[in-house]
C-alpha cells in the first residue's frame, strides 16, 4: 500500500501509539483544531450526539427504502455567482454548510461473494416477474440490464454506505445544516435519509476499521463497483502553491491556480532539476502553451532564450521588446568560439571545441574513432599553449618520456650495428626537430582561421611523430575549409558574437531557413547552446533555454555527452533547459533522447495525445508513466466545461512524482500575441501599419474590434479584416 501511495505522490508513515490515540480522541470529540481534547458530557439522542461544547449529526446520504440517486455523475456542477455560471466540485456543498465547525465524509464499500449476490439477484428478478404489474416489470428489466452488464463487461456487485458527520457549536441550530444539505443534494438528484435515528450506531461504524458494524438491512444498498466508486467522488483540485515562481494555469473547473513549473523553487520540493521535456502533436496547442509559460517566466525576471524553426515566438518577442534573430545568408548567426580568456580554458570548453571540430569534419551522425578524438584534443591543447605562453621547449619530464619512447622504437627498428652513441644522437636530433617545429608554429590571434592554419600544419607532424595511420587529412582540410577565410561560411566561426546579447532578457533564434542544411543546422544549434552556457555563467538570475524542433540537429551519439553537460551545467547555474517536439518517432526511435534528454529532465509536459493513442504504450515506457497518469492524460480536452471560456487547451504536467492536468487559458490579447496563423498575423499587421502604433496597441485595437464584431472565432474575424483591407474601427452599440 505504501508503494502504491508513493507512486501517486502521497507520502505515508505508520503512527506511533501516542499519535494514534491523539487522532482517535480527535475523532471521538469531533475536534480537529485543539491540541488537547476533552472527552466528556456525552449526550446521545435519536437525531444528534453531544460532546462537551459541541454537537454533531450523522447524515446517511441514501435512504435504502427509497433510493434516489442521480442518473448522471460528473466531476463538477454549476452554481450562479453574480449572475455568472461557475463550475464547482460536485461535493462543494460540504464547504458551505452553515455554522459547521467540521465535516467528515465517509464512503464505505463492501465486496461480497459475487456468486451469492448473483443468485440473490436472480431470485429477486423471479419474484418481481411473478407479480404482473408495471412497476414489477420495470424492476425485472432493470435487473436484466445489470446481469447483462456484469456478464459483458465483467463488472462487480458491491454494497455501499455514504454519510456525513457534521459538527456545530452546542448552541447552534442543526436544522439549518439539515435544510442546507437536503436542498443542495436535492439539486444534484440525491435524497438524503430522513430517518437516520440510529445516530450512535452510525457514528461508531464510521471509526476506521469498524464499518463492518453497519446494519446490512437499512444502512447498505447494492450497486455496481463503478457507480460506487464515483457516486460521492470529490475531485481533488490543485491549489496554488507556496512558491516565488508562479506560472498560472486553471484547474479543471476553470479556477486560476499557480504552480512552480520548475518543481524545485516552491516550499514543497518536487524535483532535483527543473529541465523539462514537452511532447504535443501538431494542433494540440503546444506553441500556445510554451508562449504562455515563457511569457510568465520572463515577467518574473527570467532570461529567456528560444531556438525555433517555425516563427512560433515572433509575436511574443516583438510584444516584450526582445531580440529576434533570424538566420539569413546576409546576416548569419556568428560567433568566435576559439576566442576565450585563459581562465576559461577548462575541460568543458575543450570538449565543446572538440565536438565543434568533429561536427564539421565527420558530420552529425558519424562516430569518430578514439584516435581521432585524442588527436583533436591534443591539437586544441597545443594551439592554446602556443597562444597563451608560447612553446619554449619540452620540460624535463616530457623529454624523459620522449627519450624512453624513441629508445624503445630504436630497439625494434634500429640496425644491429648501431652503437649506443649513434642511437642517442638520433634520438636527441629527433627531439630537437620536434621542438623546432613546435616553436615555429606561432598563434597571433584566436579565431577559427588561426586554428585551421595551426591544425592543418600540426596534425601531419603529430601523426608522423607518433606513427598514426588511417587519419583522412584530405577530408579534414576540405570539410573545415568551408569555414575558413574565403569559404562559404567564413563568417560563421570568425566573427565575435554580439556582446549585447548577454544583456538581452528575451532572445529568439529563428533558424528555419537552414533546417535542411546538414552542415549548418547542427552547427548553429551548437553555437546557440554554447551562447546560453556563457549567459548562464555571466547572469545571476534565473535563465531558461527552450529548444523546439532544432534539438534534433544535435541529438546524435557524437553530441550526447555535450547535451548531458548542458543539462548538468543548467542545474548549477539556476537555469532550465526545455526540449519541445511534436514528432512521436523522436522519442521512441532514439536512445539518445532517452539517455541524454529525458533522463536529465525531471519535468514532463504532455498535451493532447489522441493522435498517438495507438502507440502510446511506447511513450508510456520511455517516459516511465504510471497507469493512473495515462488515464489522466487521456482526459485532456475531454471535459464539457469550455463553453464561454477563452481559447482553452489542457496540458498534463509531471514534476517528479507529482502530476496533474491543468488548463491553459489566456485572454484574446495573449492569443493574438502567440498566434502562428498566417491570416491572423496578416490582419494584425494591417492594424499596426494603418494605425501607425506599437505592437501592443495594435493587438489591443484588434481585440477591441473583435469583441464588438460578435464573431467568436479569431480566424473568422481575421478573414473579415483581410477582406476589408482596413481597420474596422467598430463602435459600441448604444
Q: Report, in angstroms and rounded to the nearest whole number, the Rg of the chain calculated over CA atoms.
A: 36
Which residues lie across from 168 on neighbouring strands? 55, 100
pTM of the predicted protein model: 0.68
CA angle 686, 687, 691 (to 5 degrees): 120
CA angle 501, 364, 593 (to 5 degrees): 80
Q: How far lies 707's CA from each of 83, 335, 682, in Å?
A: 20, 46, 18
CB 22 within 8 A of CB 671: no
Sequence-ordered list of residues with C-beta below 8 angstroms from that of 78, at least 6 positions apart, any chain: 85, 86, 87, 88
Return the DSSP state at 730: -
Q: At what angle do helices 347-362 and 560-572 cross, to 10 degrees?
A: 150
Cα dihedral across residues 77, 285, 656, 545: positive or negative: negative
DSSP secondary structure string for all residues of 503-529: G-SEEEEE-GGGTT-TTHHHHHHHHHH
Query: Of 74, 26, 506, 511, whose CA–CA distance to 299 is shortest?
Result: 506
pLDDT at 75: 58
The span from the CA of 214 to the CA of 228, in Å, is 17
Low-confidence ranges of the chain (pLDDT < 50): none
C-alpha 262: how far from its chain's center? 9
Q: At what angle do helices 370-388 and 347-362 cross, to 10 degrees?
A: 120
Which residues lie across from 86 on neighbouring strands? 79
The bridge status of strand 542-547 relative to strand 302-308 is parallel
CA angle 24, 28, 32 (to 5 degrees): 75
pLDDT at 39: 81
The span from the CA of 699 to the CA of 692, in Å, is 12
The span from the CA of 495 to the CA of 236, in Å, is 56
The span from the CA of 475 to the CA of 481, in Å, is 10
The span from the CA of 382 to the CA of 391, in Å, is 9
Stated as kind and residue range, the H or E segment containing 102 is strand 100-110
DSSP secondary structure string for all residues of 292-326: HHHHHHHHTTEEEEEEESS-TTHHHHHHTT-EEEE
Please tell me whether residue 18 adopts helix, strand or coil conformation: helix
Mean pLDDT of the chain: 85
The span from the CA of 686 to the CA of 306, in Å, is 27
- Residue-wise pLDDT for 77-122, tens only, equals 666 655 555 556 667 777 788 889 999 988 888 889 999 999 998 9
Other CB atoms within a 10 A radius of the CB of residue 527 amount to: 20
User: Looking up cell 561560411, which residue turns up?
Assistant: 489
Query: Would you mind telling me the total number of residues written for the chain in this entry?
Result: 734
Cα dihedral across residues 323, 326, 327, 328: positive or negative: negative
DSSP secondary structure string for all residues of 604-669: EEE---GGGGGGHHHHHHHHT--HHHHHHHTTTT--S--TT-SSEEEEEEEETTEEEEEEEE--HH
Stated as kind and residue range, the H or E segment containing 89 is strand 84-89
The span from the CA of 324 to the CA of 353, in Å, is 26
The span from the CA of 529 to the CA of 507, in Å, is 13
The span from the CA of 182 to the CA of 55, in Å, is 19
Q: Grid coordinates in use for 84? A: 455568472
Report the helix count and the strand count for the chain, using DSSP H and E: 25, 19
pLDDT at 685: 92
CB 251 within 8 A of CB 237: yes
Query: Of 634, 590, 641, whose CA–CA distance to 613 is shortest?
Result: 634
Measured between its terminal Cα atoms, the distance across the chain in Å is 64
The span from the CA of 344 to the CA of 351, in Å, is 12
The span from the CA of 256 to the CA of 50, in Å, is 40
Return the DSSP state at 61: S
Amino acid at each position: 500500500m505504501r508503494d502504491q501511495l508513493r507512486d501517486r505522490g502521497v507520502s505515508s508513515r505508520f503512527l506511533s501509539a501516542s499519535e494514534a490515540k491523539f487522532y482517535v480522541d480527535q475523532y471521538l470529540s469531533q475536534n480537529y483544531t485543539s491540541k488537547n481534547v476533552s472527552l466528556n458530557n456525552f449526550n446521545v439522542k435519536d437525531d444528534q450526539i453531544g460532546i462537551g461544547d459541541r454537537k454533531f449529526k450523522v447524515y446517511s446520504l441514501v435512504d435504502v427504502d427509497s433510493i434516489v440517486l442521480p442518473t448522471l455523475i460528473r466531476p463538477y456542477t454549476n452554481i450562479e455567482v453574480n449572475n455568472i455560471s461557475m463550475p464547482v466540485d460536485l461535493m462543494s456543498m460540504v464547504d458551505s454548510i452553515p455554522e459547521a465547525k467540521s465535516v467528515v465524509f465517509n464512503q464505505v464499500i463492501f465486496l461480497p461473494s459475487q456468486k451469492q449476490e448473483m443468485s440473490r439477484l436472480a431470485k429477486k428478478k423471479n419474484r418481481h416477474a411473478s407479480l404482473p404489474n408495471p412497476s414489477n416489470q420495470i424492476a425485472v428489466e432493470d435487473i436484466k440490464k445489470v446481469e447483462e452488464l456484469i456478464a459483458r463487461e465483467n463488472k462487480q456487485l458491491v454494497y455501499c454506505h455514504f454519510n456525513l458527520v457534521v459538527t456545530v457549536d452546542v448552541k447552534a441550530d442543526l436544522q439549518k445544516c439539515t435544510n442546507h444539505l437536503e436542498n443542495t443534494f436535492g439539486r444534484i438528484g440525491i435524497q438524503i435519509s430522513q430517518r437516520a435515528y440510529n445516530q450512535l450506531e452510525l457514528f461508531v461504524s464510521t471509526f476506521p476499521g469498524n464499518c463492518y458494524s453497519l446494519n446490512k438491512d437499512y444502512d447498505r444498498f447494492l450497486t455496481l463497483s463503478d457507480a460506487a466508486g464515483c457516486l460521492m467522488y470529490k475531485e481533488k483540485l490543485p491549489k496554488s502553491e507556496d512558491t516565488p515562481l508562479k506560472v498560472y494555469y486553471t484547474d479543471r473547473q476553470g479556477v486560476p491556480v499557480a504552480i512552480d513549473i520548475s518543481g524545485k523553487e516552491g516550499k514543497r520540493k518536487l524535483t532535483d532539476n527543473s529541465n523539462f521535456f514537452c511532447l504535443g502533436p501538431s494542433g494540440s496547442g503546444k506553441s500556445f502553451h510554451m508562449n504562455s509559460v515563457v511569457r510568465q517566466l520572463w515577467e518574473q525576471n527570467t532570461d529567456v532564450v528560444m531556438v525555433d524553426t517555425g516563427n512560433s515566438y515572433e509575436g511574443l518577442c516583438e510584444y516584450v521588446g526582445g531580440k529576434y534573430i533570424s538566420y539569413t545568408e546576409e546576416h548569419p548567426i556568428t560567433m568566435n568560439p576559439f576566442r576565450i580568456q585563459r581562465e576559461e580554458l577548462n575541460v568543458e570548453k575543450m570538449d565543446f571545441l572538440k565536438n565543434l571540430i568533429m561536427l564539421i569534419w565527420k558530420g552529425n551522425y558519424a562516430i569518430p574513432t578514439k584516435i581521432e578524438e585524442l588527436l583533436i584534443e591534443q591539437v586544441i591543447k597545443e594551439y592554446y599553449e602556443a597562444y597563451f605562453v608560447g612553446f619554449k621547449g619540452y620540460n624535463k619530464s616530457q623529454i624523459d618520456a620522449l627519450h624512453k619512447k624513441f629508445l624503445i622504437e630504436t630497439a625494434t627498428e634500429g640496425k644491429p650495428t648501431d652503437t649506443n652513441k649513434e642511437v642517442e644522437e638520433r634520438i636527441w636530433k629527433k627531439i630537437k626537430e620536434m621542438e623546432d617545429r613546435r616553436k615555429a608554429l606561432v598563434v597571433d590571434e584566436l579565431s577559427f582561421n588561426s586554428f585551421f592554419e595551426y591544425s592543418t600544419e600540426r596534425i601531419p607532424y603529430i601523426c608522423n611523430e607518433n606513427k598514426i595511420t588511417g587519419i583522412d587529412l584530405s577530408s579534414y582540410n576540405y570539410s573545415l575549409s568551408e569555414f575558413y577565410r574565403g569559404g562559404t561560411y567564413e563568417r560563421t566561426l570568425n566573427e565575435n558574437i554580439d556582446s549585447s546579447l548577454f544583456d538581452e532578457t528575451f532572445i529568439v533564434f529563428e533558424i528555419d531557413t537552414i533546417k535542411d542544411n546538414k552542415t549548418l543546422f547542427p552547427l548553429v544549434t551548437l553555437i546557440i547552446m554554447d551562447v546560453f552556457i556563457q549567459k548562464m555563467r555571466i547572469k545571476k538570475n534565473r535563465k531558461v533555454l527552450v529548444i523546439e524542433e532544432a534539438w534534433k540537429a544535435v541529438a546524435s551519439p557524437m553530441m550526447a555527452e555535450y547535451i548531458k553537460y548542458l543539462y548538468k551545467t543548467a542545474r548549477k547555474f539556476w537555469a532550465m533547459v526545455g526540449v519541445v517536439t511534436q514528432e512521436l518517432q523522436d522519442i521512441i526511435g532514439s536512445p539518445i533522447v532517452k539517455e541524454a534528454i529525458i533522463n536529465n529532465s525531471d519535468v514532463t509536459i504532455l498535451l493532447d495525445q489522441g493522435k498517438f493513442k495507438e502507440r502510446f504504450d511506447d511513450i508510456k515506457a520511455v517516459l516511465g508513466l504510471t497507469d493512473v497518469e495515462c488515464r489522466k492524460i487521456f482526459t485532456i480536452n475531454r471535459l464539457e466545461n469550455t463553453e464561454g471560456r477563452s481559447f482553452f487547451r489542457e496540458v498534463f504536467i509531471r514534476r517528479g512524482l507529482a502530476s496533474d492536468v491543468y488548463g491553459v487559458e489566456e485572454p484574446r490579447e495573449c492569443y493574438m500575441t502567440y498566434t502562428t496563423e498566417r491570416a491572423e498575423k496578416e490582419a494584425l499587421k494591417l492594424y499596426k501599419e494603418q494605425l501607425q502604433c506599437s505592437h501592443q496597441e495594435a493587438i489591443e485595437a484588434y481585440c477591441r474590434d473583435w469583441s464588438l464584431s460578435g464573431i467568436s472565432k479569431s480566424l473568422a474575424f481575421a478573414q473579415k479584416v483581410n477582406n476589408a483591407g482596413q481597420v474596422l474601427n467598430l463602435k459600441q452599440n448604444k
